């Protein structure tokens, strides 16, 4: 009976411990996440004191996170209304981008890889977009061609927007940024 | 009729009862140890299951924490391991962004508009000097230590006359360098202490337009990292 107890304790401990550790760092960990509107960021990932979960997540693949003084990466998985981003819908990204030396806005899958689409346009940089008279940003992301700044989406399925700000004062205090300072993601319609 | 009454009833066969065992002196006979009943047994089993589960959960928490802490130290899939050979010639080398382009593992979650060049350092052989020439495109340099964590980040805005230059050293090498400084003179070199002997110097250049890619590759690949004299 004692051996049975010991086997139960060891099995439960090792099994649950390993499975929970794997689960905790299989994706970006919830620890250290900062949410601003629809955007998420992990500003601690580029610092000396990166938390152990983020460190373990980064060590499980070939990652080189942006340094805290170098820039910040913001990820959106949902539109402003809380629905998951889906290739069957059209989205408009509008508003402003924080002060920065340069930014890029890309469409990726859940693992951060660009999609292999027929049109070679996985992202826009600040130098590539056409702006309106007021200088505001307006990008339409859709699977079908759109007038203006068109960011092609996959025909269906989940995707992410990744906004990378380079050399920006926001990077060290991302949590204090207001949602109004980042582009809004409005869902226009769905097929 | 209760169970006790039944036990006390005379034997049905009418045989004479066996002679009573002589009673121990001075006391009444001890009652036979009562057998645990089902509710008690269930309670004991439940208690035991609860205690072993609690012990298992505590062990699981320990295993969880130890695993999370060991992953960075043991990983052979991280960038520090994948790019450990780069920069042996004294120049940062550009890393691929997509799979299948060369023998190196591709950088994950990378910005396709950014050219990334990497140079691995090992401070066991002495301090390493990193020199980057800046251009019109935004350039950022970071020091990423083995086992995770960005220990230093600088951008080309800190460049002096178009050159970014700093020295990477260990704590002991730093102390030695400070001791060798001329008395009363301020050293102008930028010294960055790395708490691990190995790590990566990462140069990133943003190519804002596709036509900038050539310039960006030249800038990122032009970062020099060699032994400091």
CATH architecture of B79-181+188-227: Sandwich (2.60)
Does the structure show a pLDDT above 50 at B90?
yes
In terms of domains, do A149 and A116 share one? yes
Average pLDDT of chain A, as a whole number: 88
Rounded to the nearest angstrom, the minimum Cα separation between B154 and chain A is 6
Segment B210-229, tens digit of pLDDT: 899 999 999 999 999 988 87
Q: Which residue of chain B has the CA closest to A109?
A: B109
Higher per-residue confidence, B46 vs B19: B46
Helices and strands, number each (H, E), in chain B: 5, 9
In terms of domains, do A53 and A9 share one? no
Show the domain range for A16.
1-25
In terms of domains, do A17 and A94 share one? no
In terms of domains, do A77 and A102 share one? yes
Does the structure show a pLDDT above 80 at A175?
no
Q: Which of A25-29, A118-122, B131-135, B216-220 has the lowest mean pLDDT?
A: A118-122
In terms of domains, do A119 and A48 share one? yes
Segment B18-35, tens digit of pLDDT: 555 555 555 556 666 666
In terms of domains, do A56 and A37 share one? yes
Overall pTM surpassing 0.95 (yes/no): no
> Minimal CA–CA distance to B225: which of B202, B192, B204?
B202
Residue extents of the structural domains in chain B:
36-74, 79-181+188-227
In terms of domains, do A106 and A44 share one? yes
Q: Which residue of chain B has the CA closest to A5?
A: B52
> Minimal CA–CA distance to B58: which of A145, A9, A175?
A9
- With tokens 């951060």, the residue in question is A112
Segment B143-194, tens digit of pLDDT: 998 888 899 999 888 888 889 989 998 999 998 888 887 776 777 788 899 8
Name chain B contacts of A71, Cβ cutoff 8 Å. Answer: 140
State the total domains in chain A: 2
Name chain B contacts of A17, Cβ cutoff 8 Å. Answer: 59-64, 66-67
Cβ–Cβ < 8 Å for B220, B137: no
Name chain A contacts of B105, Cβ cutoff 8 Å. Answer: 62
**Closest CB from B57, B138, B141 relative to A102:** B138
Mean per-residue pLDDT, B111-138: 91
ipTM exceeding cut-off 0.90 for this assembly: no
In terms of domains, do A65 and A79 share one? yes
In terms of domains, do A48 and A5 share one? no
Does the structure show a pLDDT above 60 at A75?
yes
Contact A64 B79 (CB under 8 A): yes
Q: Supply the DSSP string of A60-129, one letter for each residue.
A: TTT--PPPTTTEEEEEESB-TTSPBPBTTEEEEEEE---S-SEEEEEEE-TTSPBP--SS---EEETTT-
Name chain A contacts of B204, Cβ cutoff 8 Å. Answer: 66, 70
Does the structure show a pLDDT above 60 at B14?
no
In terms of domains, do A130 and A47 share one? yes
Residue B1's pLDDT is: 41
Does the structure show a pLDDT above 80 at A70?
yes
Q: What is the percent of chain B with per-residue pLDDT over 90, rounded to a whole number?
A: 30
In terms of domains, do A64 and A21 share one? no
Query: Ranked by mean pLDDT, which of B59-73, B77-91, B149-163 comes out on top?
Result: B59-73
In terms of domains, do A69 and A2 share one? no
Residue B130's pLDDT is: 92
Residue B20's pLDDT is: 57
Which of the residues B51, B53, B71, B130 would you substitute to probe the A interface, choosing the one with the greatest number of A C-beta atoms within 10 Å? B71
Rounded to the nearest angstrom, the minimum Cα separation between B90 and chain A is 20
Residue B146's pLDDT is: 86
**Closest CB from A46, A58, A123 relative to B113:** A123
Residue A181's pLDDT is: 84
Residue B7's pLDDT is: 47
Higher per-residue confidence, A174 vs B182: B182
Segment A114-131, tens digit of pLDDT: 888 888 888 899 888 888
Cα B82 to chain centroid distance, Å, stands at 16
Spatial distance between the Cα atoms of A105 and A75, rounded to a whole number of angstroms:
10
Residue B32's pLDDT is: 61
Cβ–Cβ < 8 Å for A61, B80: no
Residue B16's pLDDT is: 55
Q: What are phi and psi of B49, to 5 degrees?
A: -60, -40
Name chain B contacts of A111, Cβ cutoff 8 Å. Answer: 108-109
Does the structure show a pLDDT above 60 at A98?
yes
In this structure, what CATH number is given to the domain that contains residue A109? 2.60.120.600
**Closest CB from B60, B149, B209 relative to A12:** B60
């Amino acid at each position: 009976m004692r051996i049975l107890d010991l086997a139960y304790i060891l099995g439960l401990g090792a099994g649950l411990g390993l499975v929970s550790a794997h689960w905790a760092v299989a994706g970006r960990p919830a620890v250290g996440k900062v949410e601003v509107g629809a955007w998420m960021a992990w500003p601690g990932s580029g610092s000396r004191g990166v938390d152990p979960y983020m460190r373990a997540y980064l060590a499980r693949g070939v990652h080189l996170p942006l340094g805290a003084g170098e820039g910040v990466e913001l990820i959106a998985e949902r539109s402003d209304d809380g629905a998951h981003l889906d290739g069957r819908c059209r989205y408009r990204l509008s508003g402003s981008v924080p002060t920065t030396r340069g930014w890029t806005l890309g469409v990726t899958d859940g693992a951060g890889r660009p999609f292999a689409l027929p049109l070679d346009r996985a992202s826009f940089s600040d130098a590539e977009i056409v702006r309106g008279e007021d200088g505001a940003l307006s990008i339409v992301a859709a699977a079908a061609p759109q007038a203006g700044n068109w960011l092609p989406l996959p025909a269906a399925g989940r995707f992410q927007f990744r906004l990378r700000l380079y050399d920006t004062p926001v990077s060290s205090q991302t949590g204090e940024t207001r949602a109004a300072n980042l582009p809004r993601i409005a869902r226009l319609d769905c097929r | 009729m209760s169970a006790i009454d039944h036990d006390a009833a005379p034997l049905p066969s009418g045989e004479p009862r066996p002679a009573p065992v002589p009673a121990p002196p001075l006391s009444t006979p001890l009652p036979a140890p009562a057998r645990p009943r089902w509710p008690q047994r269930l309670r004991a089993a439940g208690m035991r299951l609860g205690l072993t589960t609690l012990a298992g959960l505590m062990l699981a928490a320990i295993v969880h924490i130890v695993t999370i802490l060991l992953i960075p130290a043991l990983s052979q899939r991280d960038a520090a391991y994948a790019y450990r050979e780069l920069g042996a010639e004294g120049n940062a080398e550009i890393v691929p962004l997509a799979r299948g382009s060369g023998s190196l593992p591709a950088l994950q979650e990378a910005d396709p508009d950014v050219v990334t060049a990497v140079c691995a350092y090992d401070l066991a052989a002495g301090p390493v000097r990193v020199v980057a020439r800046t251009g019109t495109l935004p350039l950022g340099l970071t020091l990423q230590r083995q086992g995770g964590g960005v220990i230093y980040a600088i951008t080309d805005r800190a460049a002096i006359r178009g050159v970014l230059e700093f020295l990477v050293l260990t704590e002991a090498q730093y102390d030695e360098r400070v001791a060798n400084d001329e008395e009363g003179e301020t050293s102008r070199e930028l010294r960055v202490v790395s708490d691990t002997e190995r790590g990566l110097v990462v140069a990133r250049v943003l190519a804002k337009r596709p036509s900038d890619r050539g310039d960006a590759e030249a800038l990122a690949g032009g970062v020099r990292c060699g032994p400091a004299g």
